A and B are shown apart, each in its own frame.
Chain A
Amino acid sequence: MAKTKTAYKVPVLTGEIKVPKVVPGASAYEKMYHGENDDMTALGFPASLEDGWETKAVGIFKQLLTHNKALKDYMDICVRCGACTDKCQFFLGTGDSNNMPVGRAELMRKVYRYYFTPAGGLFKSLADAEPFSERMIKKWFTYYYQCSECRRCSYYCPYGIDTAVITMAARDIMDGIGLGQKYSTQIINKVFKIGNNLGIPPAALRNTLDDLEEEMKDATGKDVKIPMDEEGAEVLLVPPSADFFAMPHMESLAGYAKVFYKAGISWTVSSYASEAANFGMFIGNYKNTKEINKRVWDEARRLKVKRVIVGECGHAWRALYNYSNTMNGPFDFLDNKYRQPAHICDFTLGLIKDGVIKMDPSANDDKIVTYHDSCNVARASRIGEMPGGQFTVPRELIKACANHFFELRDGANRAQTYCCGGGGGILTDEVMNVRIAGSMPKMQVIKEVMDNNGVNFLALICAICKTQFTKMYPLYGFDAEMVGGVHQLVSSAIVL
């Protein structure tokens, strides 16, 4: 039974990111577990791969090409210029050419040419076309799950080709024929059944919140509360459920609670919409994404709140900020004086600027801070009113809370940020070596500011980033406590 633990391959940190020697198939050995029958069927997919899946796959592919104009373009317009080849952290970490964005996309383009272009059907080899086959779908399952949908490649592509869109479509096609990934499908099923990724039922959630309230009382002497399911509260706060369970995530929850307490704004979390994250997006499935997204707005209606604020979670912010209106809007029942939804960083920074709450940055004088831009926030959304707010708002907030702050190197920062290596539905242990490989570029630039500036705290606004770095740091020889949320800094600096 229990697998013998494979030794992890951890790169040596030199502070430099080198382009590796290309080895096709180098990372083919790590694969995701297959989706379990119950989870697959609960999400509306076949339980497992059935005979005749090829025809079905072509059908789904065709539908996607019709409905998703971008996908069709991305199939046609790549000129193989190579600008994206060394831009993916998973290629840089593994050296596998299938992890070059263009290599990854080619796995789908080959099939596309075979079925959907005249030349593909007639002159297969010339047109570089290939039908669905056992071998091909296995490759899909491997490499479309070694992509974190971070969109770094699209930033560098002269045509703006977004490989994340291709990855999502590939996963949707695979789910549609019963070839699912256990991690994401299991989690989505928990959201439908219980309300959050972790499967925390209401009574357990209340118990956890009571414990945190007690801890805050011990530490501050103040009655900082975390209300749950409170009808008529002004704000519904929707954090990733990791904030209710894990460390360092929970320190940020304490931060949010103190902000509401000090500002005197009534708020509540919900035991029904107890999850901001949306793994429906990771598997590229419209129906599931919309269903998960809908829970938040249904609950906002039921609790009669005036505003919805989203906690620290990268892709959750993308799913809620970018898609809510088209999927489940309009939200005219909310108070439209405010941005709906608003990001917690935007909310807290606004209160500081308005003088409603005060920070004492010297409380974080033991910390020398740097900040990692989470991909889904950096490249796929915005925070606040101004263009580029997704970069400026978290930084301004950090600087209000801490006196020592250093930026990571250009080229690995802001819109050019590397993924932490765990995003997009791959934060699962069976692909730990892929996660380690993918973390390498970001770890190199973090190492640089550790060496040059003595940085000892990595501030984050994404639940996945927090977990991934907390896992990676000890492997690279650093203390996991050097990783935490932006609102962890808020939590220590706020003057109560």
Chain B
Amino acid sequence: MPSFEFSGKVIETDDEGYLQNLDNWNKEIAVYLANEENIELTERHWELINWVRDYFMKFQVAPAIKSLVKEVGKLENIEDKKEANKFVYELFPEGPAKQLAKIAGLPKPTGCV
């Protein structure tokens, strides 16, 4: 199984670098994973990271894109859905399902998506 070393600990990932074990996640690892994606985490990123993690803890799955966009609208006071969607992609250019999930330590959503 692929893995990387972090503060003296071996962290296992899947083939694409998503954490194998949710509990291995912490803020430092999030910064490291974000760095691998060329993303510098800001307050705005953290709001979403924390929200999807909470969502995942509650529902055992990442939120649908629409639900995420709705939440962004609330958090950032963006009325327009299209603008909120654009905002998400500005933060996570490769898409929320892929990059946001990865940095938040969640498994990659797979299916016909």
Give the B-binding residues of A (Cβ under 8 A): 1-3, 33, 182-183, 186-187, 190, 196-201, 203-204, 207-208, 211-212, 214-215, 240-242, 244-247, 249-250, 277, 313, 427-430, 463-464, 466-467
Contact = CB atoms under 8 A, between A and B. Distances in A.
A134 to B, nearest CB: 22
A208 B63 contact: yes
A187 B2 CA distance: 21
B66 A215 contact: yes
B64 A1 contact: no
Nearest to A209: B64
Contacts of B36: 1-2
18 contacts: A1-B36, A2-B16, A186-B110, A187-B110, A197-B112, A198-B61, A198-B111, A199-B61, A203-B59, A207-B59, A208-B66, A212-B66, A244-B64, A250-B65, A250-B66, A277-B111, A427-B112, A429-B16
A3 B66 contact: no
Contact of B111 (A33, A187, A214): A187
Given A1-B3, A427-B112, A467-B113, A246 B16 contact: no
A212 B16 CA distance: 31
Contacts of A208: 63-64, 66-67
Interface residues of B, number: 27
Given A2-B17, A211-B67, A200 B61 contact: yes
A464 B64 CA distance: 17
Given A241-B112, A247-B66, A182 B15 contact: yes
Nearest to B89: A480
A245 B111 contact: yes
A464 B61 contact: no
B15 A245 contact: no
Contact of A247 (B17, B65, B110, B112): B65
A197 B67 contact: no
B17 A1 contact: yes
B42 interface: no
Nearest to A36: B14
Nearest to A197: B111
A245 B109 contact: yes
Contacts of B16: 2-3, 429-430
Contacts of B13: 1
Interface string B68-87: 00100000000001000000
B52 interface: no
Contacts of B63: 208
Contacts of A214: 70
B60 interface: yes
A429 B110 CA distance: 10
B56 to A, nearest CB: 9
B70 A242 contact: no
A412 B36 CA distance: 41
Given A1-B13, A212-B66, A242 B59 contact: no
Contact of A1 (B2, B58, B111): B2
A464 B59 contact: no
Interface string B1-27: 011100000000101110000000000
A246 B110 contact: no
B66 A198 contact: no
Given A1-B4, A2-B17, A201 B61 contact: yes
Contact of A211 (B4, B59, B70, B109): B70
B112 A467 contact: yes
A247 B84 CA distance: 14
Contacts of A33: 15
A211 B64 contact: yes
Q: Which 8 A-B pairs have the closest CB atoms?
A: A197-B111, A204-B59, A1-B4, A198-B111, A463-B112, A2-B17, A2-B36, A246-B113
A211 B66 contact: yes
Contacts of A242: 111-113
Contacts of A197: 110-112
Nearest to A4: B36
Task: Report which residue of A1, A197, A203 has the largest number of chain B beta carbons within 10 angstroms of its beta carbon.
Answer: A1
A313 B66 CA distance: 20
Contacts of B66: 208, 211-212, 215, 247, 250
B109 to A, nearest CB: 6
A53 to B, nearest CB: 22
Nearest to A201: B60
B97 interface: yes
